[in-house]
């Protein structure tokens, strides 16, 4: 009954942590592709190939359902995977839709035409690859009209977080918020479009100001996953053990993960 969670590195641990709290009875297998992180500076074909390889590894662990807890992979690879690659009996889901559902106040499965929503000016902070894909804007257009989205590619932030250099990460975030603010001075909402960014959510909030509502993905994805499993219990795979896999150095990744989540995490080689 295991569920797989994939990220290019450690950012997906924010989603995993929320999912474990929401679904304590479900074993989760986490795979971080730290050897190839960050994905946000790679081209779409490269992201697609790496993501497929990682998902296959999680299938090998008995995870018929895999969550791409990586916005870059969700943006650059998921649609292509769903259209031509995923075999019957397997599912791969991304992290964009729960976020957009919360922003537009629409429930899962609401297939009514796009409509006007309360939030008109949205700031999107994401990796360069996610921004260039325009996947967020595409998914939003299915559900809402009249929303102005200003996207800011946040180069360097993921690297700094992965390296544990939170001082540099904070400086970069402030710089990116200032850059976006010159184009959209008064956003009503801000989307943290990378699962690394919740680790620095307080920095984003302070830089944006308390009047801006910040949407972070972890709890939204966890709630959406719980709802999905109620409707599709057959997608709980045959795996029974929780584990943490990495393509990088297990000891180094374990140390960083322990620092991020403030609890002991032990990765093994994938």
pLDDT 10s digits, 55-92: 999 999 999 999 999 989 998 899 999 999 999 999 99
Helix, strand, coil percent values for the chain (each to nearest 5): 50, 15, 35
pLDDT at 249: 96
Tell me the fold of 3-94+218-269.
Rossmann fold (3.40.50)
How many contiguous H segments (helices) and E segments (strands) does the chain have?
12, 12
Distance between CA 92 and CA 86 in Å, rounded?
A: 8
For residues 117 and 147, is the Cβ–Cβ distance under 8 A? yes
CB atoms within 10 A of CB 209: 12
Tell me the fold of 97-215.
Rossmann fold (3.40.50)
pLDDT at 196: 87
CA distances to 8, 11, 269 from 111, in Å:
31, 31, 42
Instruction: Give me the active site residues, please.
Output: 70, 194
pLDDT at 108: 59
pLDDT at 101: 86
**Ranges of residues in the chain whose predicted pLDDT is under 50:** none
Of 84, 9, 90, 88, the C-alpha closest to 42 is 9
- Start and end residues for every CATH 3.40.50.1860 domain found in the chain: 3-94+218-269, 97-215
């Amino acid at each position: 009954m295991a569920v797989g969670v994939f990220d290019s590195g450690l950012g997906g641990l924010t989603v995993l942590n929320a999912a474990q709290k929401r679904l304590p009875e479900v074993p989760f297998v986490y795979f971080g592709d730290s050897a190839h992180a960050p994905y946000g500076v790679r081209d779409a074909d490269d992201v697609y190939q790496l993501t497929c390889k990682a998902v296959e590894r999680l299938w090998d662990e008995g995870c018929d359902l895999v969550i791409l807890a990586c916005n870059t992979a969700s943006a650059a690879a998921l649609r292509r995977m769903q259209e031509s690659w995923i075999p019957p009996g397997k599912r791969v889901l991304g992290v964009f839709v729960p976020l957009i559902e919360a922003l537009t106040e629409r429930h899962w499965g609401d297939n009514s035409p796009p409509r006007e929503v309360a939030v008109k000016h949205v700031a999107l902070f994401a990796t360069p690859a996610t921004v260039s894909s325009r996947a967020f804007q595409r998914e939003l257009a299915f559900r809402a009209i009249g929303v102005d989205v200003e996207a800011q590619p946040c180069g360097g932030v993921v690297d700094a977080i992965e390296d544990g250099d939170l001082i540099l990460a904070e400086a970069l975030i402030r710089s990116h918020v200032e850059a976006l603010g010159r184009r959209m001075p008064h956003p009503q909402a801000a989307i943290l479009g990378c699962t690394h960014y919740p680790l620095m959510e307080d920095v984003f909030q302070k830089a944006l100001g308390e009047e801006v509502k910040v949407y972070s993905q972890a709890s939204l994805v966890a709630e959406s996953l719980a709802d999905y499993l109620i409707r599709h219990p057959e997608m709980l795979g045959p795996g029974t053990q929780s584990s943490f896999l990495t393509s990088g150095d297990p000891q180094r990744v374990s140390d960083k993960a322990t620092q991020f989540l403030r609890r002991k995490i032990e990765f093994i080689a994938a």
